[in-house]
Amino acid sequence: MIFEPIFEPRFSSKSHAFRPGRNPHTVIRTIRSNFAGYLWFLKADISEVLDNVDVDVVMASLEKAIKDKKVLSLVKSGLKAPVRSRQGEGDEDEKDSRKRKKGQTKKRILNENEPRPDPYWLRTFFDFAPQEAAKIPNYGGCGILSPLLANVCLNELDHMMEQKTVEFFRPCERDTIWKYSMDDGCHNPAWPEFVPSSGKDKTRKMDFIRYGGHFLVGIRGPRQDAVETRKEIIEFCEKILGVRLDNSKIEIEHISRGIQFLDHIICRRVIYPTLRYTASGGNIVSENGVGTLLSVSASLQQCIRQFRKLKLVKGDRDPEPLPCTPMLYSGQAHTNSQMNKFLETMADWFRYADNRRKVVGFCAYVVRSSLAKLYAARYRLKSRAKVYKIASRDLSRPLREHTNNSAPEYSDLLRMGLVDAIEGVQFSHMSSIPSCDYTPFPRNWIPDHEKVLHECINLQEPKVFYQLHKSVKQHGICLPQDEISHIVWQYKTLGVRSLSQKLCGDKGMENAYEKVMVASS
């Protein structure tokens, strides 16, 4: 709570992890808006900084903004505290629980003060976390302060890369984009690029973005520039951060092969738009042009791997859904609602993917088929086809065992309030899946709270505050501090009653003012 307002305005705008107002969606939207036209990409993994970092490196970064010795000594003692191995503790607890619960088949009832486990849909979605977002820093005994300390250390790398992008920029007047400044270009991802991505007469440009211990560098130029940039990053990490990286940690990839970042694949696709323009004679000429578009699509193979890890599918190229066994003892209404929340979260996660409908449709197919196999085993219906025949395609109709024919109808139980309403599994049709969100993302976007923090930092400078105070006096504007001090001075010299008569005209306002002043005193 103390450190975050201090460091947040000092962090680079290229960093998006472990920060308020920034998330993986801002990374995807920034890539879609700013990374069009790049030919070579550097995909780096420096997550070693998140695992272990030198205490002196962290303290040197903190001392640049924090001067309180007590706070610094507190952080230093937390960094030097030994890290408890959670994996070993978990294994011991699991062995003890097996010994205690051996032979017990009843479900354990949680106490009132005992924390409840996360719902199934949330645990399932957490297992879909991409590789770049799965690791959270944990430094000694610093606890939740560790992600902030990791950003403080990596902020040096962010500012170095920002300076590198400014030095690397070389505009070319023959280029259709980026002619004059680094901010030139189109914000709309549907705008095609009609110029080659490299060459002597083309603009050389670089951009950088980081999420946690993974970052992406886009380079428009020859491959040699990417090799030199990788060398500089390795030298900087070894000199400043004390981390030795090899070339395998920083890969150089071409845009034509596709770069996977945050479970999205960044690639380009060639289009042939029709160009219409007016010739010198006034005639409208139509020609077929050749352009490239930046494509940001979700990785279907990564989605299959995550489902296979959850044991909801088997196979790789042609995955076969498996029954959702963790929901075996839950009712149909509860099971459907849990999986609907999971599908809604998946649809929101892939909001900015070009193939959003395809990926979400695949997830809905896996979930629906897995539930159908579960219901077939639970209600003894033998096959998915019989489940779909009774419960319909979205599994919204009630299912019950054939042996229990004397049970009342579902409509009667629903009318009496004895059962929950069954909602159908969402996205059973492709038309119900929302399409990709192509809303343009501003290039120099900053969250609102960061703007306020930047203004507070500017006011702390004496020169800026003096200029602001001088302009207020010149325009004859009364400061709130002056008005409050005038009221307090009159209260001390004239008393409560005379001041209240001066400020409040009627008797009711006078009484109210006296009550306020007495309460405040």
Residue 289 and residue 316 in one domain = no
In a domain, 491, yes or no: no
Q: Are residues 263 and 221 in the same domain?
A: yes
Q: Please check whether residue 36 lies inside any domain of the structure.
A: yes
Tell me what pLDDT residue 34 has: 86
How many domains, in total, are found in the chain? 3
364 vs 430: CA distance, rounded Å: 10
Is 88 within a domain? no
Are residue 144 and residue 161 in the same domain, yes or no?
yes
Q: Residue 13: pLDDT above 60?
A: yes
Q: What CA–CA distances, in Å, run from 200 to 172, 222, 316, 338, 514? A: 9, 9, 44, 56, 80
Q: Are residues 61 and 46 in the same domain?
A: yes
Q: For the segment 76-93, what is each residue's pLDDT rounded down to a tens digit?
A: 998 887 755 544 445 555
Segment 291-307 mean pLDDT: 90
Q: What pLDDT, on the 0 to 100 scale, is given for residue 265?
A: 95
Say yes or no: 275 and 412 in one domain.
no
Range of the domain at 136: 2-81+116-178+185-298
- CA–CA dist 460, 454 (Å, integer): 10
Kindly state whether residue 366 falls inside one of the protein's structural domains.
yes
User: For 16-46, how does the pLDDT look when each residue is reduced to its tens digit (9 = 90+)?
Assistant: 999 999 999 999 999 988 888 888 999 999 8
**Which residues, other chains included, contact 246 with Cβ-Cβ below 8 Å and sequence gap of 6+?**
234
Quick: pLDDT tens for 349-394: 999 999 999 999 999 999 999 999 999 998 888 889 999 999 999 9
Q: How confident is the model at residue 292 (pLDDT cuts 50, 70, 90)?
A: confident
Q: What distance in Å separates the CA atoms of residue 127 and residue 325, rounded to the nearest whole number?
A: 16
- Whether 131 and 189 map to the same domain: the answer is yes
Q: Is 238 inside any structural domain?
A: yes
Q: Kindly state whether residues 130 and 266 are assigned to the same domain.
A: yes
- Within this chain, do residues 58 and 171 fall inside the same structural domain, yes or no? yes
Residue 242 and residue 377 in one domain: no
Residue 484 lies in a domain: no
| Separation of alpha carbons 485 and 374, rounded Å | 73
pLDDT digits (tens, 9 = 90+) for 417-468: 666 778 889 998 999 999 999 888 887 889 988 888 888 887 777 887 788 7
pTM higher than the cut 0.85: no
| Within-domain flag for 110 | no
What does the pLDDT average to over 223-228?
94
Residues 339 and 462 in one domain: no
| Residue 96 belongs to a domain | no
